[in-house]
Each structure stands twice: as structure tokens, then as C-alpha cells.
Amino acid sequence: MPAMRESMSVDRRGLMLVLSSPSGAGKTTLSRALLADTDNMKMSVSATTRPMRPGETDGEDYFFVEPVDFNLMINRDELLEHAKVFGNYYGTPRAAVEDALSSGNDVLFDIDWQGTQQLAQKMRDDLVSIFILPPSTAALEKRLKSRAQDSDEVVAQRMSKASEEISHWREYDYVVVNDDVDECLSEVRAILKAERVRCSRRTGLIDFVSGLREGY
Ligand SMILES: Nc1ncnc2c1ncn2[C@@H]1O[C@H](COP(=O)(O)OP(=O)(O)OP(=O)(O)O)[C@@H](O)[C@H]1O
Ligand SMILES: Nc1nc2c(ncn2[C@@H]2O[C@H](COP(=O)(O)O)[C@@H](O)[C@H]2O)c(=O)[nH]1
């Protein structure tokens, strides 16, 4: 009689979950909520040359760096992707992402469409991308203003770029509207849950199925 299988778990490769949106649609809000109750998921902390906002912490929200240091990171190939967004530079430190993936975690990214395109060119099979839309332009502006962390000039600059950013929605695997945050979050969780059991990610399936067919 074959031995009982002790565990139903099947090994899988980590995935890279990207959230993009026009500024203010809710990526940070959704990311924090998702990380709070999701196992095996790490946030990718970007490097940026933008000034720190009130309430932000260096090393947690971003690594705030000078332009000269950002350039050094590019030249040393330390960034997985990078882009200029609203006049500042942003990039994803490569080592932390590679460490998280190789230790069996998924990685969550809050990056723009330019960065998503670069990740898609390099690591398409591991990428799951979601574009977050606001329910309306007026709601987007209200959110940017009520966040109260940027000057009127910065808010106006971000609103003026929103339409152009939204035009990239077709490049994403999924599009979710963030009207009610809990509903939006449950859609994001459903996407993650399904993508985690995608056949092509489940490296342990061949052994698991062979075992089943042999009666284990
Ligand atoms: N569904 C929602 N309903 C109402 N307000 C929301 C909702 N989602 C997020 N917000 C609020 O909108 C503001 C902007 O949200 P958030 O900072 O998460 O956006 P973001 O997409 O990360 O912006 P950025 O691209 O500028 O970093 C915040 O004050 C947040 O509390
Ligand atoms: N391509 C990248 N885009 C990034 C990265 N980190 C953040 N972002 C995007 O920048 C804007 C503005 O962010 P904010 O914090 O200044 O409001 C937003 O769209 C982010 O998604 C990155 O590493 N690479």
C-alpha cells in the first residue's frame, strides 16, 4: 500500500504583481491593505529622486536618493526598471526583488506603465499586471486634493497627465475600478488567488500528478 501524501501543497514559482494607475487612483491604499493580510508577499520598495512627503519614511515608502546616486544605481545595473515620472526618477532595486522571488515570495509593485513595460520585456512569464481606474475624473482629483500631501501645482500636473496614463490600460492583464476600496481589494485578491494556481507557475505539479497516478 503506498504511503499517504502528507501535504497537499504543490511548489510554485513566485510571481510579480504590478499595480499601475493614474496618480491618486489608490495603488498605495490597495497595496497596504493587500500586504496586511497576504502571506508570502513582499512589497518592492522603489528608489526615487522625488522629495519625501510628510509622513513618509525613508526605506519604507521609498529609498529617497539624490539624482547622482540614482544615476550610479543605473550605471551599476542595480535597477530592474526605471523611469522619469512627473519630473522625478523612480526605479526598482533589483536585488530585493530577486531575493524575495528566490525565497518563495511574491512581489508587489506600485509602478507606472513605463516600468511595467520594462518588466514585461524582461520577465513576462512571472508578471501579473493590474491597471487601477478611478470611478471618475472628478473623484480622482478629489482624492489627490484630499490626500493633502502635494502642492496645488503638483496636483494639477498629475491631473494633466492622467488621461495619457489611462491610455495604457490595454497593456495590462487586468483592469479594476477602484470605486469602493473593499470591493476593489476583493477583485485584486481574486486575481492573485487565481494567478497563484496557474499551471505554468506550479513547478511541483509534474511530481505531484505523477505521485497521484502511482497511487500516492
Ligand atoms: N476607493 C477609494 N475611495 C475614496 N478614497 C480613496 C479610495 N482609494 C484611495 N483613496 C484615497 O485617495 C488618495 C490617493 O490614494 P493613494 O495614495 O493610495 O493613490 P496612489 O495611486 O498610490 O497615488 P500615487 O500614484 O500618487 O502614489 C488617498 O488619500 C486615499 O486614502
Ligand atoms: N517606473 C516606476 N514607477 C514608479 C516607481 N515607484 C513609483 N512609481 C510611480 O510613480 C508615480 C508617482 O508616485 P508618487 O509616490 O510620487 O505619487 C506613481 O505612478 C507610481 O506608481 C518605480 O520604481 N518605477
User: CB of 146 closer than 6 A to ligand 1?
Assistant: yes
For residues 78 and 93, the answer to whether their CB atoms sit within 8 Å is: yes
> In angstroms, rounded to a whole number, what is the distance separating the alpha carbons of residues 110 and 112?
7
Query: In angstroms, what is the span from residue 181 Cα to ligand 1's centroid?
Result: 9
Distance, in Å, from the CA atom of 181 to the CA atom of 139, rounded to the nearest integer, reads: 13
SS3 helix, strand, coil % of the chain, rounded to 5? 45, 20, 35
Residue 177: inside a domain? yes
Using DSSP's 3-state secondary structure scheme, residue 27 falls into helix
Q: How far is CA 99 from the centre of its chain?
A: 16
Ligand 1 center to 31 CA (angstroms): 10
User: Residue 20: inside a domain, yes or no?
Assistant: yes
Q: Which ligand is nearest to the CA of 62?
A: 2
Residue 156 lies in a domain: yes
Q: What is the dihedral of CA 67, 72, 73, 74, to 10 degrees?
A: 90
Considering the domain boundaries, does residue 123 fall inside one?
A: yes
Alpha-carbon distance values, 106 to 143, 201, 205 (Å): 29, 12, 18
CATH for 35 = 3.40.50.300
Residue 53 lies in a domain: no
Which residue is it, cell 494607475?
Answer: 21
> Can you give the residue range of the structural domain that contains 206?
16-44+106-213
Does 139 fall in a domain? Answer: yes
Q: How high is the pLDDT of residue 103?
A: 87
Distance 205 CA to ligand 1 centre (A): 39
In-domain check, residue 166: yes
Q: Which atom of ligand 1 is nearest to the CA of 22?
A: 25
pLDDT digits (tens, 9 = 90+) for 160-186: 999 999 999 999 999 999 999 999 999
Per-residue pLDDT at 163: 96
In short, whether 178's Cβ falls inside 6 Å of ligand 1 is yes
Which ligand number lies closest to the CA of residue 56? 2
The parts of the chain modelled with pLDDT lower than 50 are: 1-7
Give the count of domains, the chain: 1
What is the pTM for the complete model shown? 0.94
Residue 8 confidence (pLDDT): 64
Q: Which atom of ligand 1 is nearest to the CA of 21?
A: 21
Specify if 81 maps to a domain.
no
ipTM score = 0.98
